[in-house]
Amino acid sequence: MCHLTGWSRDPWIFGAYSAALPDHHALKEDLARPLGPRVHCAGEATVGDDFATAHGAWNSRLRAAGAMVRALGGAAGAGGAAAAS
């Protein structure tokens, strides 16, 4: 028996994970760049090395959350510091 998935059409998912075109891997850095001081992007598509993974998505949220805290004048905690390294 065969079961086909349609991750990009599933209304609870809308996708699976990113895949850069050949020679366009560096564009992921653009996705990670904040859109002004208040809008920060996270998700597996925004990480250079661990894209398409759960831990890549996790680390990206640490980076984005740390950047938001710093933008608000606070000191990022251990999670933000880990993401920055």
Ligand X SMILES: Cc1cc2nc3c(=O)[nH]c(=O)nc-3n(C[C@H](O)[C@H](O)[C@H](O)COP(=O)(O)OP(=O)(O)OC[C@H]3O[C@@H](n4cnc5c(N)ncnc54)[C@H](O)[C@@H]3O)c2cc1C
Smallest distance from ligand X to CB 21, Å: 18
Which of 16, 19, 27, 82 touches ligand X (CB under 6 A)? Answer: 16
| 19 part of the interface to ligand X, by CB under 6 A | no
What residues contact 32, with CB distance under 8 A and at least 6 apart? Answer: 41, 46, 47, 60, 63
Which of 20, 52, 65, 69 touches ligand X (CB under 6 A)? Answer: 52
Measuring CA to CA, how many Å separate 9 from each of 14, 21, 25, 51, 68? Answer: 6, 21, 25, 21, 32
Smallest distance from ligand X to CB 34, Å: 17
76/59 Cα distance (integer angstroms): 14
| 39 part of the interface to ligand X, by CB under 6 A | no
| 17 part of the interface to ligand X, by CB under 6 A | yes
82/85 Cα distance (integer angstroms): 5
* Residues lying near ligand X in the complex (CB under 6 A): 7, 12-17, 43-44, 52-55, 57
